[in-house]
Amino acid sequence: MQRVSAFAIGLLAARIAAADVVGPSGYILGSIPLPGPAQGDVAVVGTSIAVGQGAFGAGAESVIRRDFDGTITTLATGFNSLSGFAASPQADLLFVADNGLEQAGAVTGDTLFAIDAPATATMAVTAAGHEVAAPGSIPFAQGVAVSSTGQLFVSDAVGGSAGKVLRHRSFLYPPFVTQAAGFSLTAGMVFGPNGHLFVGDLDSVTFAGRVVELDSSGAVARTLASGLSGAADLTLDHDGNVLVSGGFTPGFGSSTIVSIDSSGVVSEFAHGFAFSSGLDVDPISGRVYALDFGVSAVTTFTPVSALLPGGGAKATDCLAEFSDVTPLRDRLGRALMQSVCRDGDACDRDGVADGVCTFGVGVCINVNAGPQCVAAGVDSFTVSQPQAAADPQLTALQSAVSALLPSSTARCAGPVPITVALRSTATGLKPASKMVRTTAVHMPATGRARNDRDVLTLRCLP
């Protein structure tokens, strides 16, 4: 939102300072360091995240990918004023909005860009040449949303009552047409499970926020919530609630993220940001990623309800639990200690049917689970390896968790990409599996060590 409400953001940010972020109960709070202050938005790409970086100005901003181990890869350069990001359903494209063509010396902008293979690219491309529509065609490009079928939408935050939502038309001119109008500073957008599009909107005079629900034709189905203290970006949490960034606590003590349930009830999700801006949610783990504008980190909120204990003894099973996996369930709905994925499906983090399933496996430690298991701390963590040939991916998982230790607080590592290649036979590709066996150990000051031994089977289907 650098262009459309730069004055408002600058004024508010000058009045507050980032405090310790406080999140909701039932989530594990985390932080992912960045090489520089966050700009624009954040988006999940495979087992990594894409984040904006750089300084506001002609060609000075870029989009990077940060992997679980801290590896930074620059995906694209030459942006002026980054705003919304959104990945395609297969994560083979990252759509990036920029609204800074008016910057002196800018060669492109005020449009939407498409970056190829954001999860695997090894070299940066330039913004110029990767426009979805001509430079200047979306003067106030802000939010970006992609439907489950790949339909692309962008918000144009003109202000007044001229803000609108644009829909992309492949192979037609102009490439974008108006889907809905009558907004002001049209902000972030997200699709609901029913295919309706939720749109954030900020009044350009009062800066009060609202969220409007549009049906598939672009007609207003309802105003989900109004009178918000701001509206920057939108996403859905793992329970289907709409999360909205850009709000503020009373007195502007800090910036907030709020949650809006299906009936329109608004509650605080988190506070303590200087200015909460970009949001995204990992569809598998339910982890919320949040940007604090200008801060060199991404804040994470990992839902405990989406974790998989791993089958250890009840008294110690909360020392370490698997994250980022979707477990197979029995007829009674109970989670089994295995995750099954078909090559190329949404659970396959590489997004293509290439004979290999890429799982994302994370681990959260010290996950207190009530009176049955009270996590008093984890001192060591190991992943069992075959003696003949160690698996470097399992070694990476062990290293990622071990880097957090010793610790007596709830923390999460990963997701680490772990691949399972289908077996090639004379009659075609066949299912294959890989087992992840872990041991978390708590060493009390007196008495015997307490062990949490867990097993997860990853199964890939053709």
CATH number at residue 105: 2.120.10.30
Q: Flag whether 240 is in a domain.
A: yes
**In terms of domains, do 177 and 109 share one?**
yes
Asked if residue 344 and residue 224 are part of one domain, the reply reads: no
Indicate if 354 and 273 belong to the same structural domain: no
Spatial separation of the C-alpha atoms in residues 276 and 150, rounded to whole Å: 27
- 209/338 same-domain check: no
Bridge partners for 153 per DSSP: 145, 167
Cα-to-chain-centroid distance, residue 43? 5
Asked whether residue 416 falls in the same domain as residue 273, the answer is no
Q: Is 373 part of any domain? A: yes
pTM of the model: 0.94
pLDDT of residue 245: 97
Amino acid at 54: G
Give the per-residue pLDDT at 387: 66
In a domain, 73, yes or no: yes
Does residue 269 sit in the same domain as residue 176? yes
The token duo for 73 is: 């890869």
Beta strand pairing call for 152-156 and 82-87: unpaired
Cis before 174? omega within 30: yes
Q: Compute the distance between CA of residue 271 and CA of residue 20 in angstroms, rounded to an integer.
A: 8
Q: Please state, in angstroms and rounded to a whole number, the distance separating the CA atoms of residues 345 and 355.
A: 12
Q: Which domain holds residue 263?
A: 6-304
By the 8 A CB rule, do 48 and 72 touch? Answer: no
Alpha helices by DSSP H, 233-286: none
Q: Is the domain of 138 the same as that of 151?
A: yes
Q: Are residues 263 and 172 in the same domain?
A: yes
Written as one letter, the residue type at 228 is L
Q: Are residues 333 and 298 in the same domain?
A: no
Same domain? For 92 and 140 the reply is yes
Closest C-alpha among 200, 212, 209, 199 to residue 229:
209
C-beta of residue 146 within 8 angstroms of C-beta of residue 86: yes
Per residue in 215-256, pLDDT (tens digit) is 999 999 999 999 999 999 999 999 999 999 999 999 888 999
Tokens for 332, please give them: 């009674």
Tokens at residue 411, please?
């923390």
Contact status, residue 265 vs residue 278, Cβ threshold 8 Å: no
Backbone dihedral angles phi then psi of residue 50, each to the nearest 5 degrees: -105, 135
Give a yes or no: residue 403 inside a domain. yes
In a domain, 1, yes or no: no
In 237-312, the DSSP E strands lie at 242-248, 255-260, 266-273, 276-281, 288-292, 297-303
Residue 208 CA to chain centroid, in angstroms? Answer: 25
Residues of the chain with pLDDT under 70: 1-19, 369-370, 387-388
- Could you tell me if residue 129 is inside a domain? yes
- Residue 3, Cβ neighbours under 10 Å: how many? 22
The region, left, alpha or beta by phi > 0 then psi within -120 to 50, assigned to residue 65 is beta
Residue 236 lies inside a defined structural domain of this protein:
yes
Residue 13's pLDDT is 42
Domain annotation covers residue 197: yes
Phi first, then psi, for residue 7 (nearest 5°) are -65, -45
Out of 252, 274, 304, pick the residue that ends a domain. 304
- Give me the number of domains the chain comprises: 2
Structural domain ending residue among the three candidates 258, 275, 304: 304
Single out the residue in 273, 304, 335 at which a domain terminates.
Answer: 304
pLDDT given at position 6: 39
d(CA 257, CA 278): 10
Neighbours of 402 (CB within 10 A): 15
180 in the same domain as 42: yes
Q: Looking at the structure, do residues 163 and 43 belong to the same domain, yes or no?
A: yes
